[in-house]
Chain A
Amino acid sequence: MTDTPIAVTMDGHVIEAAPGASLIQAWMSAGLPLTENVGCMGQGVCGACRVLVRRQGERIAQAALACETRAEAGMQVSFVDHFSARRTHAYDLASMTDSWAALGAIDAVFPEAKSCRHCGGCDAACPKGIEVQKAVILAVEGRALAAGALFDHCIMCNLCVAACPEHIAPAHLGQFLRRMGASLSLRPGDLVLRLAEIEAGRQTIDLDAPQP
C-alpha cells in the first residue's frame, strides 16, 4: 500500500484521503464540520452516515454508509438526509393481544404494501443488501416471521422509505413484523420461571454477602 493520498469529492469539497481511510474519516481529517450524518463512527450499525457514492467510470450512484466505505480515487460522494416516513403507520403493540388478529393487522397498518410495483427501488437503496422487495411481498402474503427475518440487518437508515414510490415504508413494516413476532410468540421458559420465583419472593438478595 502506498502513502499517496486519494482524491475524492464529498459534498462539493475535493478531499485528499489517506489510503485505507473510510469516507467519514476522510471528511473528518479534511477538517470539515461533522455535526450530523454521524453516530457509531465505524461499526455500521446506526445508519446515520448515509451517502450516495458514484465511482469513477460508473454512471449510477449507489447508497452506502460512509463509515463502511473506503475512499477510492475519483469517487463522488454526497451525504443523504434522514427521511421520515410520509405518514406514521400507527399501531399499539400492547393492545395486540389476540394473535389470531395479528396477520390481519399487517394490511390494516400497512395498506400500501399490497400496491408494491416491484420497481426494486428499495433493494437498490439498501446499503445492507437486504431483499426489501421480497420481504414486502412476503408480508402481503401474511408470512410475517419470514418477512421480518429478512430485515435482520436493518439499521433503520430509512433509505428504502425514501425510495418507495408507494410510500410503503418498508423499514417500518419490517420492524412491525419483527416486534409483533417477538411480543406475541417469544416466551422463554427459564425467564418465565425466574420471574415467577422473584414474584413469589424466592430470589432475595443478602446485601451484606460477600465481603472483600
Chain B
Amino acid sequence: MAGLGSNSTTGATFDVVEGDGTVTVTVCGELDITNVEALGSAVAPAIEHEPSRLVLNARELRFADSSAIALWVQWATEVPEIELRDASPLLRRVVETMGLTETLGVKP
C-alpha cells in the first residue's frame, strides 16, 4: 500500500518490450514506494517467459528509492543476466553505495 499523502508528485511511466529472450524495461520519472508495485506488476509477465536477459533502461529515470532497488535485485535473482543501462551518476552512486554494482549489472 502506498503511504498516505505520498510526496510522489511526478510519478513514473514504464515501457516493457520483449524480444529475442531479452526484456527491455524503460522507466521515466521517479520511482519510489508509491509506484514500485505498479512497475513490478508491469514487468512480472515478461519475467514469467523466462528471458535470458533483462535490460533496465534508466536514461530518463531521475530517482529511485530503496524499494525500487529491491525490486531490481529481485529481477536480478530471477533472470540470468541483468543490465542497468544509462543510469545517471547519482543513481550509479546509490547502487555503488549499496554494494549492488555487480548484482545489478551496472556497466561502466
Q: A and B: real partners?
A: no
Interface residues of A (CB under 8 A from B): none
**B: which residues have CB within 8 A of A?**
none
